Structure formats: C-alpha cells, structure tokens
Amino acid sequence: MCQSSGLHPYARAHAPDKRVIRKRLSGLSSSSSPRASSPSFLMALTVLFFLYYLSSTALSASIITHLPGFQGPLPFYLETGYVSVDEENGVELFYYFIESERNPSEDPLLLWLTGGPGCSAFSGLVFEIGPLKFVTAEYNGSLPNLVYHPYSWTKVANVIFLDSPVGTGFSFSRKPKGYAVGDISSSMQVYKFLRKWFVDHARFLSNSLYISGDSYAGKVVPVIAKAISEDIEADQQSSLNLKGYLIGNPVTGLKIDMNARVPYAHGVGIISDALYELIQKNCEGEDYENPVRAKCVTKLDAFHKFYSEIHAGYILDPKCTRASPKPEDMIGDRRSLEELELHSPPPHPALKCRTYAYFLSYYWANSNVTRKALHIKKGTVREWQRCNDDLGYIKDIPNNINYHLSLTSKGYRALIYSGDHDLMIPFLGTQAWISSLNFSVVDEWRSWHVGGQVAGYTTTYSNNLTFATVKGAGHTAPEYKPEECLAMLQRWISSRLL
C-alpha cells in the first residue's frame, strides 16, 4: 500500500548524511589549531550544527500508492507526512504532497492553504485543485469512493497541501497551549514548515516557488511570502526560489471584503433599488459587519434577511445544510466507522446538494482504514473535520494590504482571482482594494477564453499583478469551474496573458 521508512527515496538521496556531519563536527570540535577561533571556522561550525539539527528533526514521510475507495494504484505520486514547527508544545503540521504529472523537476512548486481559518488542505485537494474527487452517491455506511480528477493543478505543478493552522485537518499539538495561534504565528509556522520540508526535498529548491490559497488563506498567503522575501533580501542563506503568490476569492481583513456584499446583491437583483439606496444613505463609512448607527443596523438587518436565504458561496445553488460539524450541529447518537467513534457527524444534506460530497469526506477521512493508509499518528486527532470552527484562532493582522503592496512593488508576481457568483467575498470588493494600490493598468479589462468560450474577465497591472474573474464560479472558483481554472493557472505560471 505504501512505503514508510521515515524518509522516502528522494529524501534519503538528498538529506544531509548525519554520519558525515557527526564526523566533521567531531573533527572540528577537537581541533586545537589557531584557526579554531577564526570567524570562518566558527561559521563553518555553525553551519554544520545547523545541518545536523535539521537532519535530526527531519519530517516523517510516507509514499502512498493506494488509497481506500480508489480503484487500483494512484496514477500520480502522493506523499504524506508531518513536520514539527513548535518543539516546545509538540506542534506538527500534516501535509499531502503531489508531484506534477508533467515535469516534476522543472514545474513550479505551489504551497496550498485552504481558508477558514481551520479548513483542511484535503478540502482543497479533493474539492478544488487536486487529482481526486468523491463519487457523489448515497452514503450507506461503506467507505465513499474516489475517482481521478482530470483538471487538477498537479497537471502542471507540484503541490504541497498543508493543514494549517494547527488544529486543522490532521495537524495537531501535544499540548493545549500549542493551539493558541493566529495570523502572525501560524504564518511563521508555515514558513518554518517550508524550510524544514526542503531539507528532505532539496531537489525542488531550484523550482519556482509560489505561495497559494483561497478564502481566509488569502489573508495569510502574502504574510508568508513576505517573510520569505525578507530573508532572501537579508541574505540569510535563504535558498527558496520564491517567485510570487496566488490567491482566490481572498479575504484581506478590510471592511470592503464584507461591505461589497451589498452592491453585489443589488447588482444581481437580490435586493431592491430602494433598500440599496437606504443602506448607502444610512451606512456611509460603517463597517457592515459591526454597524453603529441605529438606522444603519435596521437596514442591514433587512439585507441580512435576504442574504440568509441565498447560498452565499454560489448564488445559483440551492441553499443546503452545511456539511461541517459545528457545536450547535452535534447530535446525541454516536456513529462508528471501522471502530472509530464519531461524536460530531455533520448534518445529512440532500444528495442533490454540492455539500453532499463534503458530508462524504467526513466519513472517508474518519475511517481507520483511511487513517492507516495516510499514516496518521494514532491518538493525535480524535475526529477529522473538513472545517474546524472551534479553533482559538487570533486574527491579529487587521488587514494585509501593506503585504500585497510590499511584495508586488518588489517584483514578485501575483495572481488574484474571483468566482463571479460568490456573494461571500464578492469580486467587487477585491477589485476595489486592488484599485487602492494605485498601480497603473498594463492590459485593459478584457475577456479571457477557454475552448472558444468566455471563461471570465481580466486586467493586468504594473508590478506583475493580474486580476481575473472566473465566469460562473463561486467560492471558491476551481470547485465550480475546474477546467477554466487549470487553464488560468497554466497560462499564468508560464508568464502568458490569460
């Protein structure tokens, strides 16, 4: 089913040889020559200690050749593993790594984070950009089935799907204190993850690196990218080949993220002209999520009534039960799957609902057969959730606009895309904050095409920033328009116009 010997063959080929490092450390430390106190000697000694430390804290990785519910061997390279990012509290981040199905040695490497905060990277893998998807069939107690997804981004890129922040997916902390993270600390843990991951995957160091994610991850992606860029600029031996970042239906933390819901809802006919004008009149300058003036509160209450009737993630879909456990959704009966007790199964949506596949993912990921196949450490995560809404997560970055400005002004490439049927984070808000950067337009607003049809609209700005809408897509875009989003990615990473 899989190989699990600590390090996979690629890692063993490229990881530092601890025996060689120990021998050199021993020789250096016993040296009595005058050069033993020279700056160059001390630098060499420091580097060797650093390499030995990294080799001693290398990730635990397993190559997965088969998965429960998938017929036959996987037609792609899959590796899973853990990387320790907080030794004091025992925090380990879990990841899925899938090599490019085209040219792993030359294709870009994407680090992918799913939003929430608290949604598993597996959600991004199986519902958005990865090479697997669930067969939507009525759940009967047996393990849900998986099939190959032909429009995976792994067609043209290597992708690390990372469960971050800790408490997401199969990432865990051995001490409760380790779960107390926020925008800043979790971003630094992701950067630490990358540095350690590359120790055992040195053959990917020369590949172009892009930090990527969607929804709430769109807020922290630029934070992580900026931390990497600062180390590159400081010449702190950062060998990461960072080229840029890409974010979909992204959160920034600005008021416009949510405030844009009102003009978007008006534009698509969800609210009337009269209500829209009253909100504009009574709520000027207000944060629509936390209004202060009484008249504004009243008008926004009327708006939220209409909003609550719509499936905000994709306004054309029926409004269905949300298939991620929340405290208020917990039910009294306990179900078991392969002897694993499940205390918080999600509500059962109708089979016609898109969320039904989310429902299936809960039972697939919580099967002991699946956990064994993925090499999940026993006793670390009692119950996998697609989105963990109970994280004690601190939103300690008010907004990330300065991070965008810093990265793009330094020449790092950025792709920002939005599904145009998303009412949660409407593209109107994304357009507004991009415009606030005051970059000049290089390529005017125009349509882009896939298969001879309009796939969306795009404009390119100075400083290597591209914005695109994906026609007919929701929150998030690849889940609704996978073929178009793969074409978008392929063109962008090839530095072509969309």
Whether 215 contacts 250, CB under 8 Å: yes
163, 183, 257, 422: the active-site residue? 422
C-alpha to C-alpha distance for 492 and 498, rounded to whole angstroms: 7
Phi, psi for 317 (deg, rounded to 5): -80, 155
Please confirm, yes or no, whether 422 is among the known catalytic residues. yes
Is beta strand 146-148 parallel, antiparallel or unpaired with respect to 91-98? unpaired
454: left (phi over 0), alpha (psi -120 to 50) or beta: beta
C-alpha to C-alpha distance for 100 and 111, rounded to whole angstroms: 13
Q: What angle do CA 324, 326, 328 make, to 5 degrees?
A: 135
- What residues contact 464, with CB distance under 8 A and at least 6 apart? 244, 408, 411, 412, 413, 414
Cis bond upstream, residue 476 (ω within 30) = yes
Please confirm, yes or no, whether 449 is among the known catalytic residues. no
Q: How far is CA 52 from the centre of its chain?
A: 30
C-alpha to C-alpha distance for 407 and 463, rounded to whole angstroms: 9
C-alpha to C-alpha distance for 281 and 278, rounded to whole angstroms: 5
C-alpha to C-alpha distance for 362 and 143, rounded to whole angstroms: 10
Whether 387 contacts 326, CB under 8 Å: no
DSSP per-residue letters across 372-385 = HHHTPPTTS-SS--
Whether 121 contacts 172, CB under 8 Å: no
173, 215, 229, 418: the active-site residue? 215
Please confirm, yes or no, whether 33 is among the known catalytic residues. no
Which whole-number Å values give the CA distances from 365 to 49, 123, 126, 369, in the listed order?
39, 11, 12, 9
Cis bond upstream, residue 117 (ω within 30) = yes
Q: Which of 478, 489, 494 has the alpha carbon at shortest distance from 149? A: 478
Neighbouring CB atoms inside 10 A of 349's CB total 18
Is beta strand 172-173 parallel, antiparallel or unpaired with respect to 109-113? unpaired
Annotated active-site positions, please? 215, 422, 475
